[in-house]
A and B are shown apart, each in its own frame.
Chain A
């Protein structure tokens, strides 16, 4: 089963993504900040990480860098709702650092699902 790790400091978003992706047949794990995310990533095989970019403790950008350093193969989707410098800038940095897809909050779920399917398909 394809395993997805969701990292977001917003509890409601984590719960929603878990319900949304489970319904589509994915196995979902949740982390509420970058540190938790890295710990969970180290413990279990992960095919795709969907991470927020503006979070307390460890920022999403830092998380993307660390994930990419740990595993060149893992697929990463970065999502941002903006912050001090606006969502575009964060997403551009995330792309530079190796996130395959980026989305601005609020996300179009059809597009998100399309990206998840594409990145987790055996051809990807």
Chain B
């Protein structure tokens, strides 16, 4: 393994390539409980004098960042080769980010595991900066939206207060008009309270409160509270759907589904039609990023809500989960409905897939991690029936 005077040109150029790409290699011997580190890997750890073999436990405790030890061990036990990033600590205490590329598949019984690591410290620092900038942008956007909504409410209320003050000096006070203005102030007050409740629901995006809940019950409650104009029908499979337990925050799950239903009804209120609601457990075979979040391989509870309404263009779809974004007419929406859905799925580790066509309608599929990995009633075979 250690290159000698007889090293071929190919070996030398390979080593040079590894050095310029900041690549190091390692081999773990599970029988001897040792790890071999290439010269480049040693350099990344600030260890001089070329490659070396060292005690695996000593390597883990001395050179792997304490917060990443369990993570690295977990990946080394994993049955298939995967990429992962972790932090190492050099002899002088400096931290670096490495990305690991295990080169061969292994299982718990494999004698030797080999892999390659690359120094990705700079890339991680950049990603961190981008993430922070994105966070700041979204905080600014949310704060701006909240300020706009409250300013509107205060503007209307202060106008009516001004009108009442003027009326107070009228010779003939119109008591009905006075009552009307007081009613408007009361209405403004209620708007403010409702807005605060919505913001609180949206901000409840922490993992706290996420627990196993029945998706069937949540959909049933949301359907029960849904306003359905005479020209709208609801077609649901709730009566014969399998029981699906998911991880979510109970209250925000109901509110989130309810918000999508309200949008579906709103999209069809002009021409009427049928809102189709389907509930099932699905198996996602390949990870994929969807409009709101990422679906990982595994079982999910899925509720799909389909309307045949006005539909959305691509630009609208890309903005619908932004807080305070709304396409609704005046006085009919605050733009927080789907932001609440975003907060809800984000907290639960779920995702929302959106399909829409202008003039043809929209389908929202809300995926939440299923509590059980055991598919119920052949849901794996029905994986494509969630429309």
Contacts and interface: CB of A to CB of B under 8 A. Distances in A.
Contact of A106 (B149, B155, B330): B155
Interface string B93-137: 000000000000000000000000000000000000000000000
B167 to A, nearest CB: 9
Contact of B330 (A11, A19, A20, A81): A11
Given A20-B162, A56-B328, A10 B156 contact: yes
A10 B166 CA distance: 23
Highest count of chain A CB atoms <10 Å: which of B151, B188, B191, B330: B330
Contacts of B71: none
B142 to A, nearest CB: 10
Interface in B55-112: none
A81 B163 contact: no
A13 B156 contact: yes
A85 interface: yes
Contacts of B166: 23
A85 B158 contact: no
Interface of B: 140-141, 144-145, 147-156, 158-160, 162-163, 166, 181, 184, 187-188, 191, 324, 326-331
Q: Provide the main secondary structure of the chain A interface.
A: loop
A8 B160 CA distance: 16
Contact of B159 (A16, A56, A86, A104): A16
Contacts of B191: 12
Given A20-B162, A57-B327, 17 more contacts: A8-B330, A10-B155, A12-B156, A12-B191, A13-B156, A15-B156, A16-B160, A17-B159, A56-B328, A81-B147, A81-B148, A81-B149, A82-B144, A84-B144, A107-B155, A107-B159, A109-B159
A75 B160 CA distance: 25
Contacts of A20: 159, 162-163
A57 B325 CA distance: 11
A23 B164 CA distance: 12
Given A83-B144, A84-B144, A10 B152 contact: yes
Nearest to B333: A56
A32 B141 contact: no
A60 B326 CA distance: 15
A86 B151 contact: no
Highest count of chain B CB atoms <10 Å: which of A8, A11, A13: A13
A14 B166 CA distance: 19
Q: Provide the main secondary structure of the chain B interface.
A: helix
Contacts of A12: 152-153, 156, 184, 187-188, 191, 331
A118 B51 CA distance: 84
Interface of A: 8-17, 19-20, 23, 32-33, 54, 56-57, 81-87, 104-107, 109
Contacts of B152: 10, 12-13, 81, 105
A91 to B, nearest CB: 13
A109 B141 contact: no
B33 to A, nearest CB: 57
B328 to A, nearest CB: 7
Contacts of B156: 10, 12-13, 15-16
Given A11-B330, A11-B331, A12-B187, A106 B144 contact: no
A86 B145 CA distance: 9
Contacts of B181: 19
Contacts of A16: 155-156, 159-160, 163, 184
B173 to A, nearest CB: 14
Nearest to A24: B166
Contact of A85 (B144, B155, B328): B144
Given A23-B166, A33-B330, A56-B326, A13 B159 contact: yes
B184 to A, nearest CB: 7
A119 B162 CA distance: 22
A19 B163 contact: yes
A119 to B, nearest CB: 19
A8 B330 CA distance: 8
User: Which 8 pairs from chain A and chain B are nearest by CB?
Assistant: A81-B151, A32-B330, A11-B331, A105-B151, A16-B159, A106-B154, A9-B330, A12-B156
A109 B162 contact: yes
A17 B217 CA distance: 45
24 contacts: A9-B329, A9-B330, A10-B155, A10-B156, A10-B331, A14-B330, A15-B184, A16-B184, A19-B159, A19-B160, A20-B163, A23-B163, A32-B329, A56-B328, A57-B327, A81-B148, A81-B149, A82-B151, A83-B145, A84-B145, A104-B151, A107-B159, A109-B158, A109-B162
